Amino acid sequence: GAVVSQHPSWVICKSGTSVKIECRSLDFQATTMFWYRQFPKQSLMLMATSNEGSKATYEQGVEKDKFLINHASLTLSTLTVTSAHPEDSSFYICSARKASGIDTQYFGPGTRLTVL
């Protein structure tokens, strides 16, 4: 199979702090990883696309200085929400695309962020 994990699964933090979310492809190498955000009853909104070893490409309206993405290896990408505020509270989901084989994205279980 193709398994993608995220850690933590949920986090509660105080306003102004930074939170790091990890995304790992456990049994395959991912050339590209994606970070999505989902608000209640809304679609998955792509935030950024990251390729291993290069800078992430952010979607319009997403602040790159606020949502720091690092894709250090073919199996790990991290999203850091800096100086989090209550409006950043959301469900963050990562996905990974295999380097070879069927070109399908596999999603992680998501991380619920609540900023107080």
Partner 1 sequence: DQQVKQNSPSLSVQEGRISILNCDYTNSMFDYFLWYKKYPAEGPTFLISISSIKDKNEDGRFTVFLNKSAKHLSLHIVPSQPGDSAVYFCAARAGSQGNLIFGKGTKLSVKP
- Residues within the interface to partner 1 (CB under 8 A): 4, 6, 34, 41-46, 49, 91, 93-95, 103-110, 112
CA-wise closest residue to 46 among 110, 3, 95, 102: 95
If the CB atoms of residues 9 and 83 are measured against partner 1, the closer one turns out to be 9
If the CB atoms of residues 19 and 47 are measured against partner 1, the closer one turns out to be 47
Smallest distance, partner 1 to C-beta of residue 93, A: 5
If the CB atoms of residues 35 and 84 are measured against partner 1, the closer one turns out to be 35
Only one residue has tokens 């989902």, namely 38
Smallest distance, partner 1 to C-beta of residue 85, A: 22
Smallest distance, partner 1 to C-beta of residue 110, A: 5
* Cα distance between residue 85 and residue 12, in whole Å: 11
CA-wise closest residue to 97 among 17, 13, 35: 35
